[in-house]
Amino acid sequence: MDKVLILVVMLAGVPKAIFSLAEHQTMCNAHVQNTSCSVKLGESVYIQMMSGDSDHKVQFKKVNGMKTLFTLKNKMVTLNKDYKHRTEFFISNWTLKIQNVDRSDSGQYSVEVFGPDGIFRRKTFVNLHVAEPENMCIATRNKSCCIPLGRSIYIQVMSNASRHKVWFKKLNGTEKVIVFTLNRDKVKLNEDFKNRTQFFIFNGTLKIQNVERSDSGQYSVEVFGPDGVLLRHTFVHLHVQEDTSSTLFFILVIGVPAVALLLLGLLCVCIRRHKGRKTP
Ligand SMILES: *[C@@H]1O[C@H](CO)[C@@H](O)[C@H](O)[C@H]1NC(C)=O
Ligand SMILES: *[C@@H]1O[C@H](CO)[C@@H](O)[C@H](O)[C@H]1NC(C)=O
Ligand SMILES: *[C@@H]1O[C@H](CO)[C@@H](O)[C@H](O)[C@H]1NC(C)=O
Ligand SMILES: *[C@@H]1O[C@H](CO)[C@@H](O)[C@H](O)[C@H]1NC(C)=O
Ligand SMILES: *[C@@H]1O[C@H](CO)[C@@H](O)[C@H](O)[C@H]1NC(C)=O
Ligand SMILES: *[C@@H]1O[C@H](CO)[C@@H](O)[C@H](O)[C@H]1NC(C)=O
Ligand SMILES: *[C@@H]1O[C@H](CO)[C@@H](O)[C@H](O)[C@H]1NC(C)=O
């Protein structure tokens, strides 16, 4: 019994420990020929390449777009001006750090290494995948999103909503409840949502804090251009989930003792039967 309980407690602790370690940065080991790495939007990634001699020349390029992020030549690092403010290359361990990754960082990169003689030595590829945070719901197409009860959710309607018109409605049976409207860069929020929702015009994102069970359901999103023409009509289905930690709590507090009692009960019945048989 004790062992089961300890195991359950340990299992409960593991995801949190991993999460806190990997919360803001990801290590991407590009030693093998073709590597795939996944990094969360807004976080940092360290791409460690197979190192060579310090007199080698290295070119790190984005394959799609043909952009050179950095070059190492004559022990000097040259960073692309578009990336300069958020990238760094450490010559000591041939590691490239990219901070604050955005969606456009997704894609394939190539690492080309040349000898001091200028002769090509090797080429490897790194596939970077930028993952949306789990509480980000991109509503530019029909989408189903899950969010644990009590958390905040970000629903992105468009990348920049300035000068656009937006109607965001909750569908309640045949009834439509307006959650917010945007018109002439003015946001009007529904009274019932007002104290826990916010719409950021500059990145077209609605934030709903402290998500409730009743937030589950279908939402309709209509986006109009500055000229008033409907650009897009999409639907978001929101599923509010019970917090898994409270489920775990339930299992630990109610479930485990219940199973223990049941086992104990069975044991008693068995012993009694056993005794009954031995002494007729
Ligand atoms: C690595 O990827 C490149 C381009 O996608 C491909 O041409 C090459 O065959 C791959 N190499 C290996 C070993 O998979
Ligand atoms: C490489 O070196 C830099 C600077 O010393 C350090 O911050 C980084 O963690 C190192 N990366 C790896 C993968 O060891
Ligand atoms: C979204 O769903 C609605 C109805 O379910 C459908 O009419 C519409 O074509 C869909 N839009 C896209 C972009 O898939
Ligand atoms: C959003 O669009 C408006 C008008 O088109 C523009 O003035 C503004 O700079 C844009 N904002 C961002 C953050 O891109
Ligand atoms: C949805 O409809 C039900 C009854 O039809 C009502 O009680 C409830 O308040 C409505 N929800 C919203 C968010 O308007
Ligand atoms: C919003 O207001 C209700 C009462 O009207 C309150 O119970 C709730 O805590 C408030 N929520 C936030 C996020 O302030
Ligand atoms: C939009 O801006 C808000 C406030 O700065 C931020 O919390 C949110 O994550 C942003 N959304 C996206 C999609 O970047």
Domain ranges of the chain: 19-131, 136-241
Residue 15 has pLDDT above 80, yes or no: no
Specify the residue with its C-alpha closest to ligand 5, atom 3.
Answer: 172
Q: What is the pLDDT of residues 78-103, one digit of tens each?
A: 999 999 999 999 999 999 999 989 88
CA 275 – CA 50 distance, rounded (Å): 71
The DSSP bridge partners found for residue 146 are: 239
Q: Is the pLDDT reported for residue 55 higher than 50?
A: yes
Residue 2, pLDDT score: 47
Any ligand 7 atom below 6 A from CB of 154? yes
Q: Is the pTM of this model over 0.85?
A: no
Give pairs for 248-256: CB < 8 Å, separation 24+. Answer: 248/8, 248/12, 251/8, 252/5, 252/8, 252/9, 256/4, 256/5, 256/8
pLDDT digits (tens, 9 = 90+) for 219-256: 999 999 999 999 999 999 999 998 666 566 666 666 66
Q: Residue 46: CB within 6 Å of ligand 2? A: yes
CATH code for the part of the protein at 136-241: 2.60.40.10
Choose which residue among 93, 97, 126 to substitute to test ligand 2 binding: the one with the highest number of ligand atoms within 8 A of its C-beta. 93
Q: Distance (Å, rounded) from C-alpha 99 to C-alpha 166?
A: 32
Q: The domain at 19-131 falls in which architecture?
A: Sandwich (2.60)
Farthest CA pair distance, the chain: 97
29 close to ligand 2 (CB < 6 Angstrom): no
What is the number of the ligand closest to the CA of 208? 6
Mean pLDDT of the chain: 85
Ligand closest to Cα of 211 equals 6
CA of 187 to the centre of ligand 3 (A): 25
Residues with CB under 6 A from ligand 6: 195-196, 209-210
